[in-house]
Amino acid sequence: MSRIRLVMMAEQLRRPASGGIGTYVRGLVQGIDTLDAESKPELELVASRPAGGGTPDLLGSLGHPVRSSPLPGPLLTRAWDHGILRAPRGFDVVHATSLSTLQPGRAQLVATVHDLLWRRVPDAYPTRGRAWHEAALRRALRRADRFIVPAGVVADDLGEAGASPEAITVIPMGSDHLPPPDLEAASALLSKMGVNGPFLLSVGTLEPRKNQARLIEAYRRIRGSLPEPWPLVMVGPSGWGQRVRPEAGVVLAGMVSPSELSALYAMARLLAYVPLIEGFGIPPVEAMTFGAPVVASPLPSTAGAAFEVDPHDVESIAAALLRVATDEAERSRLQSLGLDRSAELTWSAVARRHLDVWTEALDVAGRSSHG
């Protein structure tokens, strides 16, 4: 069988804060690059033109051709949002890495649906965001031949929304996409913020669903009980509806480089990740890869390898933070569980399972055309 000609949507990597979807695209491409030469797809990426002309480092560093639309920025954004862009011709499979889908033409369309959380917790999304997600979902349900989701709960939600269960494949995400830690750069960053010793870490977009308000309140309650007033370092971009202000012990680091993030995970006493709801949850398994014990809400990604808390209960979060920060036996237990869990989640394995879905979509299409 000839190699699959694959075009993958990579628009998230044009953005300064690419989020979980950007991590997924980057990790999946890295995984594809590990496949054997005979089965590796002929991959091209599609995204908007970079603002300054030329390809940004993040997309260019992936080492695959990038197709860019000739439309100017504002028009292209509207076209993405309304799903009216056509996929390039000459490909067997179009992979939509989020709910933004291209018109696939004669190609098979495989769409990754990361979650349907705007349906589960509508108050955690702005009105415009809910409307966009719902319209994009409806387009994806009409267009896609196959769906990939990161967890069984997302498969259930997608089935309830109208997708055929036979068309849905659950493929957990990988955890081994970050580069080696840049300890020197991370130490310099922490020093600039006045952090020169142990610290607790939080990673995620600052928005209501990520539950930083309860996390900060829990930290306030235990700060005086720590051996020293270890700070809570919060990494991530500002989202919507969540204003987090610096206060005693709370340090807002904003965005950091991938190698700095690796180092922060490796240096932290723990990672606290307590969203109200999540489709998968990438930061905990990133942290586990670098040996950080994790305090987290019940998540598909952690599979029992974190110290689980009730994200609605500040006292539950506070007790877990204090226990994991100070109990060396518990820290060692969680570190061991976390390393085992992260070792199960490789992007090479993720890419192989994606290849199975792309191949199956083409096989079914071929049988249908000859039926």
The per-residue pLDDT for range 180-201, each reduced to its tens digit, is: 999 999 999 999 999 999 999 9
Report the chain's terminal Cα–Cα distance, integer Å.
Answer: 20
Check residue 369 and give its pLDDT.
Answer: 52
The 8-class DSSP code of residue 3 comes to P
Range of the domain at 129: 5-174+346-369
CATH assignment of the domain containing 306: 3.40.50.2000
Q: Do 187 and 140 sit in the same domain of this protein?
A: no
212 with 334, same domain: the answer is yes
Verify that 325 and 358 share a domain, yes or no: no
Together in a domain, 223 and 277: yes
Please give the Cα distance from 307 to 235 (Å, whole number): 20
- Looking at the DSSP bridge assignments, the partners of residue 96 are 111
Say what the pTM is.
0.90
Lowest mean pLDDT across 95-104, 153-162, 302-311, 343-352: 95-104
pLDDT at 243: 67
Same domain flag for 227 and 315: yes
CB atoms within 10 A of CB 251: 18
d(CA 358, CA 301): 24
On whether both 51 and 154 belong to a single domain, the answer is yes
Tens digit of each residue's pLDDT (9 = 90 or more) over 289-300: 999 999 999 999
Residue recorded with tokens 């075009």: 7
pLDDT digits (tens, 9 = 90+) for 98-152: 998 888 999 999 999 999 999 998 887 888 889 999 999 999 999 999 999 999 9
* Max Cα distance, the chain (Å): 71
What H or E segment, with its residue span, contains residue 119?
helix 117-120
How do residues 44-102 score in pLDDT, each as one tens digit?
Answer: 998 877 665 554 557 778 889 998 877 766 777 778 777 788 888 999 999 999 998 88
Going by the DSSP 8-state scheme, the letter that residue 85 receives in this structure is P
Q: Do 83 and 66 share a domain, yes or no?
A: yes
Cβ–Cβ under 8 Å, residues 81 and 45: no
Nearest residue to 268 via CA among 195, 323, 206: 195
Question: How many structural domains are present in the chain?
Answer: 2
What is the torsional sign of CA 301, 124, 19, 44? positive
Whether 123 and 88 map to the same domain: the answer is: yes
- pLDDT at site 51: 63
Confidence label for 251 from pLDDT (cuts 50, 70 and 90): very high
Classify each residue of 150-170 as buried b or exposed e, where b means 16 or more C-beta atoms within 10 Å of its C-beta: bbebbbebbbeeebeeebbbe
* Average pLDDT in the chain: 90
- What is the per-residue pLDDT for 351? 98
Identity of the amino acid at 121:
V
Dist. CA 261–CA 252, nearest whole Å: 14
Is pLDDT of 1 > 60?
A: no
Residue type present at position 235: V
Does 288 or 86 have the greater pLDDT score?
Answer: 288
Q: What is the pLDDT of residue 261?
A: 96
Q: How confident is the model at residue 366 (pLDDT cuts 50, 70, 90)?
A: low
pLDDT greater at residue 12 or residue 95: 95
**pLDDT score, position 42:** 96
The pLDDT of residue 81: 74
Residues 299 and 254 in one domain: yes
Check whether residue 101 and residue 208 sit in a common domain.
no
Q: Which two tokens stand for residue 254?
A: 């904003």
- Name the packing angle between helices 19-32 and 282-289 (round to 10°): 50
Shared domain check, 323 and 197? yes
User: Of the candidates 275, 283, 273, 292, which has an alpha carbon nearest to the alpha carbon of residue 338?
Assistant: 292
DSSP-based three-state secondary structure for 232: strand
Average pLDDT over residues 214-232: 96
User: 263: pLDDT confidence band, cut at 50, 70 and 90?
Assistant: very high
CB 272 within 8 A of CB 289: no
141 and 198 share one domain: no
